[in-house]
Structure 1
């Protein structure tokens, strides 16, 4: 522990005293996208004359130049906008775009899994934001087996080196594509005609995680060229990135009542629970965690990406860019969950201990371990799931945009397509140990006899040999847009009109292959005892820190595939329940008028959007589900069915900015917006976990989210690179989609699998959770139209460079109060959050520290079927440091999650644990070059 404190202290000192590398643009280099645009939209490459101001001359480079450019974008915008330029991404502690966004007021991150994916803006669910790269969408296939797809952009897939700038629109404009209620993120890549010819820049280095003690290489390269006339140019950016991550901790898969567990205990001849009830020590209504699980998720990511921009500008009247993107992201992982069941074998329970809020917090279980056998029968049950997952996301895109500038008018076009696919495969071996254990909700389980628990000869398949599951996941975006703009003299100075068609198609086909042979752990491949430092830092038991494990992905995979004839028998229910597709087609038209004079400016307009949804999936008769067979006749109304729905909406939007004084701006905005549920939630599917009896389902009848919004801000630009801004937002959400958990009696899809009755089914029957015929009570989470919701809040942000001292500070605070009409919480909404980010820049030295904190919030689990959970408050401390060796070379060090903060989720009361994890500290050392 002393070593960790020393490491933390040294990292903070380094972050204050050293500096970050100089990958940023030179101060005289133009950055693509400094004028907010969406694709072609009518503003590309034209001066924004109506917003032009006489700004004081600033001759600075690096961090301060970047912050000044970001403030200029914010200041000159008609809407409420925050911006980030290239240096913000490269010189503050970030490894991806999401971590850079975290410095913007109102932006919060969910950090359940390393490699941040989920970004909330103004307290809204990440799926309710819209992210566009150079004005176009990027198709995204899911990367994790069992993940719940969402519409939020996976920023971890996007190399930050390719970006020149980005803007976050907090208030919409009519010209911006529909689909956002939180914010619209416009990301702009570097363009070849904006860079010096023969620019070569890049980096190489390594990242290291102290929890796993493993380092991985990364590197990037950008080359940009244009001819002497600057009429044609090309840039190519490529990146190779590797990261080894681990998420270690404890999980619990739901709760059961004491009454239901006691019924199973009495049926097994055990009256220990009943005696405690009679003595008043526990109550029948108390809730018992089904199991406390030692969780170890390990992943090696290997990402390769290439982006090419070809730009043609033969004269001042025409500009055209063709962008090509190719990316492959390998995300193989092994997820091991070792869970001593607290409720599965009630006949072995000898005592339970009641804690606060009616939660059973500890218990004892007796049982006899079985030696070297795959047919063990004991009154204690520890199951270890060993999931070996192969995941390779392939993403491709081609986009063209062109703009013709006439005499006071512009005509632009934009067309493109993006595809993403992932043929995921998951191999599972579920081994068993029958020895006794004591468990505690805070520390996990401790085996009574470690000598047998730590001996691989006592672990083996037990009646069920696991399976292989495959998912072919595909997504495709295609779109076309046409914009026309006309300038006028007078107060109303520009009229914009345009049309856009966008189609998104997403599908999933899942199969499960059954019948692997039963093997012992030694036959599967014994990997020795684990040494989980994350479990140790959480105060978990020695049995959770050091327990048996397999040799890893290949051992698990080979153990499943080694069965003679394996790969023929398929599970029909898995295919029927989890095969679906959905297409959404949006046709839109907009009209927007821009106005302004020396004192006031803004825009007013409306957007009309027609949405057509087509959802397809299987509706299977109960007789077929019970038999779990493909040999099934579908009567009318069953089989692969398709449902269609349409929606039309007028979406007005108005923005106004009043220059009270040259450096004091008051803004106001009003709008109506729509957004849509995640694609899979609109498909008729049912994805279950038959062991713990949870499931997730879809709902093709969902209506869009619809909201009426009001925004305001007051901004004082009191000095160079300095601002104090106070903003407020109010969203009246007329339809808010929520995940509702209900109990449903359904056929257990695993009931007919060989060995399932012995391993799980009999215990489920004894606990009263299933009938002998396999009709089980599932906790099913599915989306429903949730009625009204309201979100109201404010942000306060402060930024200042302290003269010539080299020091500066960015800080912001966000308050967001969100409730549904029945008083329920909104997912991912933290009531309070703040960021504090001091920085230093002097000569060749630069440094920055960022501390982020957010209060508790509601968030569903990553695994489909996981109940909505509450995430406790989370803090993160990051730092960056580096040194400019010469004009062309520099070094940088990023240090992330220096506090190794605990990610803790709970159900209801805080002592009702759902899961807790740590992911370790990450260090990224890089050398940068630029010529």
Structure 2
């Protein structure tokens, strides 16, 4: 019986760089040392493409893969950017860099990330992993599993992204690799004290000892990356008396940031005999993002003293006009994030005999994050109607918001002074919010233990049967603190009190010429705060909703599974695959706060609540080799994605109405610690044609039948459970909280194509292309009669294309990725998260390089140089409100990043 297999070359490539125990570990079987040695001669782009293709061929699931071109060298500068080039995968940019991904139209909440098969803790408020936390230089391969099998513990409705480190024993030789690149942003240093240059470097060491029974891999990567941004941001677009949309207000600014990241990898592998194999791996990342933001806020239709005078209107939008009597707020803000991630795993395999093997795996993943989000305000007076005002002309520029003209000098420290120019808050009396600072902290810890066994049959239709148990405990907490800031020199009695910025904090003015407002006053607001110049008032003491922003969510997940692996024939054609089932029991609890207002003060009491449930998740994956090199795959599964952790909190805030119109005395808002996961039945069908070691065509269709979806709904709530001493005559009230409602479907089609033009003629050797595209559609409704819900992260269309040349040491590549409009999650006021419409974008990257190993110069053997340009066409990131794309909410111009560097391996 001839089973579907890649060639010896491509099969060996998988074995040469396979992870310790990844999902596709079966690719190692049947590979000899001589084949591995031959494989190492294939390098660069073609190595990456061939290895990725061979894994796709040999996997029992429908997968996509990215493989390193060489040690410490993935195809792109970040994991997320590489992932975004795969069929059915798209990335959302954050501060100019790819950050989170969507798979098959399902947003980051529906994607699970693993490292060497183990689920990872995350530094954000929920479960979605921010992939820029992981240095690409320390990863060997990334695999996206679009269909699960019963042995995958971290499955998700969208898909599972498994990041894999290298196996030193499978690598098979001593290797030492160094990489260094300089980096520059072409917007220049937009803020005083910022830098437009940076660097990234890495070092890796792989070796084997004791007759190749012990292997080690060590790696360190450091990045200091500059990022600059010109941002135009709008408050909104209300209607004027004529029924036309008009600018409600604006907050344009420039942002300069420096991202520092240190990553460490250590792998120890020991295989003393045919009976025992053990691997210990450690991965650590430290991440600091320091951002300085300087700009202005301009009240327009909302807040301008003289209102907005429209001078031109086009298709219902005021495109030109004058803001009369504008009181402008000058902002000097800081966003700083410190995050750490640690992942440690210990895997043990016991090969008892030719039929039985046992595997035990224990792992720990931890993540911690601390943010500082500081706002510092200055203007011409304290409170509205006090200081100097300005008449600002504005004109719609057609793409990135509005351009302005002005009269005042907003960089003059004798005109612009510290205070509360618009009376945004009164923590210590009228107009006493001179700034604000958010200090959220996140801690996430995930521990797991897995014990499984496999029995291999000597013959028959079943190759083997696997079964096992897995236990995962996850504890995630958020402490969300925020403080009003009031100048210490202000006691609330002098309504005209403002402060001139002390000279020691003044910086060179910041230019806002990109939208016509000239220079603005700039100062080191964080140093001013750290020196104790503000009085802090805890917002949780006066704001009911803020008192219920902190929470803890705890999960104990027990999974048992059994899976049969098939190796048979159907109609005399080779048939492979698996079918199995998981039983998943979840016990979830949350610690939160019950908050209400009594006598003008927020009163809080602790609350703990939760639930437990059992779900059955069957799955089947089948592959039929319909002709040589051609595979028809079918998969079906019931999949589960756990709810957002910020929705599962036990917090409740409420109020009491003595004389309600509807007879309900109690009302409020709450999280839902009893929230069930998203569930779906999904079906996949694909055809794959592999016509060479580096050439294939694939087309796939999928349908995800969502059994439920999570909506914010009003529901009855028994207030006697949180107020047992004083529930009143009718303890049943109404709260708005997330609930599992009706579902719907997500469906789509994907096509991908990879071709080395040397397949047709020797003269074209080295030229090639990789292309993919997808179309997604969805309909999800809260009730059968409601309007469809827009799914976050779903782009109707995506398209990726790479054209490359690699020959005789020379390498050149241009890559582009397109995604159509989608609903994305962004940061809003007080570091909260908000869904907004994001415009379609096409991001283009390019690189050229030369490998001196092909030059014939022995002294330069192992040295390669590389020049890269990210965001070659300077594609902006644009979001908008409502259905009119001219209602620009956010227009972000990042510029281009240039990188020049070298890699050396011996």
Q: Compute the TM-score of the two structures, normalised by the length of structure 2.
A: 0.82
8 A Cα contact 1:139 1:418, kept in partner: yes
Q: Deviations over 1:566-598 (max 9, x none)?
A: 468675246623221111221111110011136
Q: Which residue of 1 aligns with 2:379?
A: 432
CA shift for structure 1 position 359: 4.6
Equivalent residues in 2 for 1:895-914, closer than 5 Å:
895-908=869-882, 909-914=884-889
Aligned equivalent of 1:678, options 644, 652, 657: 644
**Aligned pair in 2 of structure 1 residues 610, 355: CA closer, same or farther (>3 Å)?**
farther
Are 1:318 and 2:255 counterparts?
A: no
Deviation at 1:524, TM superposition (A): 7.8
Q: String of CA shifts for 1:29-82, please: whole Å, max 9, x gaps.
A: 9444369735xx9x5796279xxx9xx999743322322221111111111112
SS at match of 1:621: strand
1:503 is matched with which residue: 473, 481, 495? Answer: 473
Change in CA separation of 1:44 and 1:480 when aligned onto 2, cut-off 3 Å: farther
Alignment of 1:292-331 (within 5 A): 292-331=250-289
- Partner SS, residue 37 of structure 1: coil
How far does residue 363 in structure 1 lie from its aligned partner after superposition?
Answer: 4.2
CA shift, 1:701, in A, is: 4.3
Give how far 1:130 is off: 1.2
**Unaligned stretches of 5+ residues in structure 1:** 1-24, 143-148, 259-276, 368-379, 688-694, 743-779
Q: CA deviation at 1:528?
A: 3.3
Q: Distance in 2 between matches of 1:139 and 1:705?
A: 19
Inter-CA distance 181–28: structure 2 relative to 1 (3 Å threshold): closer
Residues in 1 aligned to 2:634 and 2:87: alpha-carbon distance in whole angstroms: 17
Distance change (3 Å), C-alpha of 1:808 and 1:564: closer
Write the distance in 2 (CA, Å) between the matches of 1:913 and 1:491.
60
Change (3 A) 1:32 1:584: farther
For 2:396 and 2:160, the matched residues in 1 are separated by 42
Matched with 1:851 is: 816
Match of 1:491 in 2: 461
Please list the CA deviations of residues 606-626 of structure 1 after superposition, one character each: whole Å capped at 9, or x if unmatched.
Answer: 1111122212222211226x4
How is 1:237-252 mapped onto 2 (pairs within 5 angstroms)? Answer: 237-252=219-234
Do structure 1's residue 584 and structure 2's residue 555 form an aligned pair?
Answer: yes
| RMSD, matched Cα | 3.1
Answer yes or no: is 1:345 the counterpart of 2:303: yes
Q: Distance in 2 between matches of 1:816 and 1:228?
A: 53
Alpha carbons of structure 1 residues 843 and 29: separation in structure 2 relative to 1, 3 Å: farther
Distance in 1 of aligned mates of 2:440 and 2:899: 33
Aligned to 1:106: 88
Q: Against the structure 1 CA distance between its residues 600 and 444, is the aligned structure 2 distance closer, same or farther, given a 3 Å change threshold? A: closer
1:926 to 897, 901, 905: 901
**Residue 773 of structure 1 corresponds to which residue in structure 2?**
none
Partner of 1:802: 757
Query: Alignment partner for residue 699 of structure 2, among 726, 729, 732?
Result: 726
Distance 1:249 1:583, change over 3 A: same
Of 795, 799, 802, 1:830 maps to 795
Tell me if 1:161 matches 2:119. Answer: no
Number of the residue aligned with 1:398: 344
What corresponds to 2:588 in structure 1? 613
Residues 697, 197 of structure 1: alpha-carbon distance in 2 compared, 3 angstrom cutoff: farther
* Whole-angstrom CA distance in 1 between matches of 2:832 and 2:288: 25
Q: 2:505: which partner in 1? A: 525
Aligned partners of 2:11, 2:745: CA distance in 1, in Å?
Answer: 44
Query: Separation in 2 of the partners of 1:221 and 1:350?
Result: 59
Taking the aligned partners of 2:406 and 2:790, their CA distance within structure 1 comes to 45
Q: For residues 759-791 of structure 1, what are the alpha-carbon distances to aligned partners after superposition, in whole Å with 9 as ceiling and x for unaligned?
A: xxxxxxxxxxxxxxxxxxxxx997553521211
User: What residue is the counterpart of 1:261 in the other structure?
Assistant: none
SS of 1:315's equivalent? coil
Taking structure 1 as reference, are residues 740 and 200 closer, same or farther at Cα in structure 2, changes over 3 Å only? farther
CA drift of 1:322 comes to: 1.1
In terms of fraction of residues, the more strand-rich structure is 2
Shift of 1:92: 7.1
- 8 Å CA contact 1:58–1:720 kept in 2: the answer is no
Q: Deviations over 1:201-230 (max 9, x none)?
A: 120121111123511021101112221411
SS in 2 for 1:193: helix
Give TM-score, length-normalised by structure 1: 0.80
SS at 1:98 equivalent: helix
Shift of 1:724: 0.8
1:478-877 aligned at under 5 Å gives the runs 478-488=447-457, 489-513=459-483, 514-517=485-488, 519-521=499-501, 525-531=505-511, 536=514, 541-543=515-517, 546-551=518-523, 555-563=524-532, 566=535, 571-573=540-542, 576-597=547-568, 599-623=574-598, 626-627=600-601, 632=603, 639-684=605-650, 698-738=671-711, 783-803=738-758, 804=762, 805-821=765-781, 822-863=787-828, 864-865=831-832, 867-877=834-844
- The SS at the match of 2:132 is helix
Please give the per-residue CA displacement for 1:269-313, whole angstroms capped at 9, x wherever unaligned. xxxxxxxx4xxxx13xx5544312213232111111211111111
> Structure 1 residues 871, 685: CA separation in 2 closer, same or farther (over 3 Å shift)?
farther
Pair 1:354–1:787, CA change in 2 (3 A): farther
- Give the number of aligned pairs: 793
Question: When you count helix as a share of all residues, which structure comes out higher?
Answer: 1
Map of 2:443 onto structure 1:
474
Per-residue CA deviation, residues 334-374 of structure 1 (Å, 9 max, x unaligned), is 2334220113435421524685675554543322xxxxxxx
Q: CA deviation at 1:737?
A: 2.6
Say if 1:920 and 1:647 are closer, same or farther in 2 by CA, change over 3 A. farther
Q: How do residues 76-115 of structure 1 correspond to structure 2 at under 5 angstroms? A: 76-87=58-69, 94-115=76-97
d(CA) in 2 for partners of 1:601 and 1:26? 17
Query: Is the Cα contact below 8 Å between 1:27 and 1:65 reproduced in 2?
Result: no
2:845 corresponding residue in structure 1: 878
Deviation at 1:390, TM superposition (A): 3.0
Cα distance in 1, alignment partners of residues 898 and 736 from structure 2: 38
Per the alignment, do residues 664 and 93 of structure 1 end up closer, same or farther by CA in structure 2, a change over 3 Å counting? closer
* Cross-structure match for 2:175: 199
1:459 to 416, 426, 451: 416
1:422 paired residue number: 369
CA pair 568-44 structure 1, distance change in 2 beyond 3 A: farther
Structure 2 counterpart SS, 1:680: coil
- Shift of the 33–810 alpha-carbon distance from structure 1 to 2, 3 Å rule, reads same
Q: 1:907 to 1:531 in 2, by over 3 A?
A: same
Give yes or no for contact 1:857–1:870 (8 Å, CA) kept in 2.
yes
